[in-house]
Structure 1
C-alpha cells in the first residue's frame, strides 16, 4: 500500500476504473482529501471514465457492460459509443474506439483463449493494445503500466514494436485477463485525460512514433485506427459483428490513411485518381503527368486494406485505366499495415 504523493498519483487512472486492490483502493481517497492537485486530476479521470462508459442503463451499474448479451444488443451498445464530449475532436475517435472495445470485451468471458489474429488469443490482443498505446502515452507523460527494460535507440521501430508486444504479452499471460483489461483501460483513460487530448494547441506539435512524424493529434487518430481494427478482430473471433466507427470518426481515419499513403507513394508514382465512396477524391502519385487510372474503394474496405485485413487482390473496388497503376496503389496501401 502507498500513500505518498507520487505513488498515489500513479494509481489514479486505475482507481478511476475501480481496478485497484482493496488496500490501495482505500489509500487513494485519504490522499485526495488533503491534496487538491491530485483531487482535481482524479475528478478529470473519473469524468473521462464516465464519458467512455456512457449513461447508466436500466439494470446496469455505472462502469459495467452486461456480458452474454445478444448480438443485436451488442451491436446497439457498440453503435452507442460516446464521442467523449470533453475531449477535442482529434481524440474523439480514440475515445469511441476504446468505448467500443470495452463494450465488446465482456463477451469474451470464458473465451479469452479464443484465437484472434497472428498467434494471439483475445487476452494477448488486449495485451498488444496495452503495449501499442505506450509510445504515445510515454510522450504525453503517462507512465508504462508494464515495466520496460529499455530500448536501444538504434533498433528499427518495427523490431522494437514487435519486441515490446511480445514482452508485454508474456507478462500479461501471467496475470488474469481482467487485470490486463483494467490496465489497458486505465492507460487509455490517462491518455484521454492528457492536455493533448483536450486542447488542440499542444496536440499540434509533431512527434515521431512508429517511424512517422505526425502531430500528436494525428497520433490519437492512429491509436483509434488500431483499437477499432483489433476490436473487429476480436468480434470476428467471437462470432460477433462489430459495426464500423461512426461516420465522422471513420472519415478521420480515411483522411489520415490517404495522407500517409500519398507520402508512401511519393511524387513519382504513376498518378491515380483515388476516391472513397461517399467522400472525397485525391490524386495520388505524380502531379506532373496525366492521370493514368481511377480507383474507388468503400471507406471501411479502404481502412481494412490499410489495416492489413484485406489483400490487394481481394479488396472490393471499382477501377478503370492502367491496372498496373491501380495495383501499385493497392499494394502500397496494404504495405502500410503494422497491425
Structure 2
C-alpha cells in the first residue's frame, strides 16, 4: 500500500529515484562588510580543488577556511569614486560606519572635487543642526528665580520700598543653598573706600553672612524683633560686625560653618513678614547707624544694596554666576545713593578732603548743580546740589555733567571701583566732578 508523496510505507524514497525537492546548501555566516563589497563573488560550480566532480564550493569548506592558503578569501574590492561620492551626504551627517568613514576621508585627501563638496555639506549640516552644548546654562537658575519673584503674586504683598530687600535676600539664599560645606570657608575679599584710598579685609563666606546678619538686625528694633547681639549692642555697622564675629569665634569649634545661614535667613524672613503686615505706610522711627540715621524705607533699600554687593563678593569667590538686580530695584538703589551724595560731599569738605564750596548757598536757594546721567538698567537723570545739602538743584544751575553705567555707578558707591578709575563721561567743572566721584565712593564701608 503506497503512502502520500510517492514514498514507501517506511517513508523512504525508492532506490535510484532522485528526490523531488533539492535542499539548498547551508549559508555561510553573515559578514559585517561595507555595502560596496562583492558579497556574491564565489567560484562557479564545478570540480573543486579536492572535491568530487559536480560538488559546490559550500561542500568544500575545509579547504576554503585554511588559514595558510593566500587564495582562500579574496579581499573586498576597493570602493569606486562614484560609490564614495554617494556617501558624502551620510558622512556629513556622521551616519557612516567606521570603515565607510575611513574610506571617505582617505578619498577626500586625493579628490579635490569631493573635498569641496564635503565642506559644503558639512556647512549645510551645521546650519540645519548646530552643535549645542548639552550642559545647562549656568545663569538659568538665576533667570528662573528672577522670573518667579517678579511674576508670582504674594498673598500678602511686600511694600514696593521693601521689595528690593525681599528679592536680593532670596537670590543670595539660593546661592548659599547651591554651595558645598567646604565653600563656606572660601576666602572672600571685602573692599571699600575710606575717603582717601581703597582698603580691604580678608574674610570667608560664613563671615560675610555673619556681617549681613549683624547689620540687618538694625532694622529689627522698628518691629520689636530680638537683636542677635543682645541688648546694648553698638549701632555702628563696623562695631556690630566685629562683635558678631567675636561671638561666632567663641562658639564651639564643632559648629558647622553653614549654620550662620539659618540665623541670617530666619531674620530676613522675619523682617519681610513684619514689613508686609504694615502695608505701604512706614512704621517706626528712623534707623540709627551710629554716625547717621536713615528712614526705614531707605534702610530697606540700603540693606538690599549691601546684600547684592556682598552676594557678588561671595559669587566671585566660589565662581558662581550672579546677575545684577532687576531694573526697578536697581533704580531704587541708585536713587538712594544720589540722595546721600550732597551730605557725603559736605562731609568730605568738613574733613578737609575736598575744597570748600565756592559760594555759601542757603537752603532752598538755587546753586551750582551736577547733572548725573546713569545709563543702562535702572538708570535715569539726577541733579545734585554742589554748594550745600539744602541748596536747590536744577538744570539751569548745571556746571558739570557726568555719565556712568548703572552697575558701574553702584560698584563705585560700594567702593569696588576707585573714583579715579571710574569709567565716566565727563563734561564741565572738573573739580566738581572729582568731588562727586570721590563722595560716591565714600558712601561705602565694611
Alignment of 1:1-339 (within 5 A): 71-80=138-147, 82=149, 85=154, 86-109=157-180, 110-117=182-189, 118-144=201-227, 146-148=228-230, 150-151=232-233, 157=236, 160-171=239-250, 174=253, 175-195=255-275, 198-203=278-283, 205-266=285-346, 268=357, 271-277=369-375, 278-286=379-387, 290-339=397-446
CA contact (8 A) 2:186 2:205 kept: yes
Flag structure 1 segments of 5+ consecutive residues without an equivalent: 1-68
Cα displacement (A) at 1:303: 1.2
CA contact (8 A) 2:371 2:381 kept: no
Normalized per residue, the structure richer in helix is 1
C-alpha distance after superposition, 1:66-89 (max 9, x if no partner): xxx862334324533615742110
CA contact (8 A) 1:257 1:306 kept: yes
Cα displacement (A) at 1:172: 6.6
Question: In structure 2, how many angstroms separate the alpha carbons of the residues matched to 1:247 and 1:172?
Answer: 41
CA contact (8 A) 1:205 1:215 kept: yes
Question: In structure 1, how many angstroms separate the alpha carbons of the residues matched to 2:241 and 2:370?
Answer: 33
Give the TM-score normalised by structure 1: 0.70
Provide closer, same or farther for how the CA distance between residues 326 and 169 of structure 1 changes in structure 2, counting only shifts above 3 A: farther
CA contact (8 A) 1:140 1:196 kept: no
Give the structure, 1 or 2, with the largest relative contact order (CA under 8 Å, sep 6 or more): 1
Question: In structure 1, how many angstroms separate the alpha carbons of the residues matched to 2:145 and 2:251?
Answer: 26
Question: In structure 1, how many angstroms separate the alpha carbons of the residues matched to 2:168 and 2:279?
Answer: 19
Question: In structure 2, how many angstroms separate the alpha carbons of the residues matched to 1:74 and 1:181?
Answer: 20
Question: In structure 2, how many angstroms separate the alpha carbons of the residues matched to 1:283 and 1:236?
Answer: 33
Cα displacement (A) at 1:167: 2.7
Provide closer, same or farther for how the CA distance between residues 317 and 165 of structure 1 changes in structure 2, counting only shifts above 3 A: farther
Cα displacement (A) at 1:264: 1.9
Give the TM-score normalised by structure 2: 0.55
CA contact (8 A) 1:196 1:217 kept: no
CA contact (8 A) 1:295 1:320 kept: yes
C-alpha distance after superposition, 1:95-152 (max 9, x if no partner): 00011101111232131111112221111111111111111113321113x4437346
Question: In structure 2, how many angstroms separate the alpha carbons of the residues matched to 1:112 and 1:312?
Answer: 31
CA contact (8 A) 1:92 1:249 kept: yes
Flag structure 2 segments of 5+ consecutive residues without an equivalent: 1-135, 190-200, 347-355, 359-367
Provide closer, same or farther for how the CA distance between residues 213 and 294 of structure 1 changes in structure 2, counting only shifts above 3 A: same
Provide closer, same or farther for how the CA distance between residues 199 and 136 of structure 1 changes in structure 2, counting only shifts above 3 A: same
Provide closer, same or farther for how the CA distance between residues 159 and 97 of structure 1 changes in structure 2, counting only shifts above 3 A: closer
3-state secondary structure, aligned to 1:280: strand
C-alpha distance after superposition, 1:241-279 (max 9, x if no partner): 211110111101011110011222249476422121141
Question: In structure 2, how many angstroms separate the alpha carbons of the residues matched to 1:197 and 1:223?
Answer: 19
Root-mean-square deviation (Å): 2.8
Cα displacement (A) at 1:301: 1.1
Q: How many residues align?
A: 268
C-alpha distance after superposition, 1:212-263 (max 9, x if no partner): 3222111111111111111111111112221111011110101111001122
3-state secondary structure, aligned to 1:250: helix
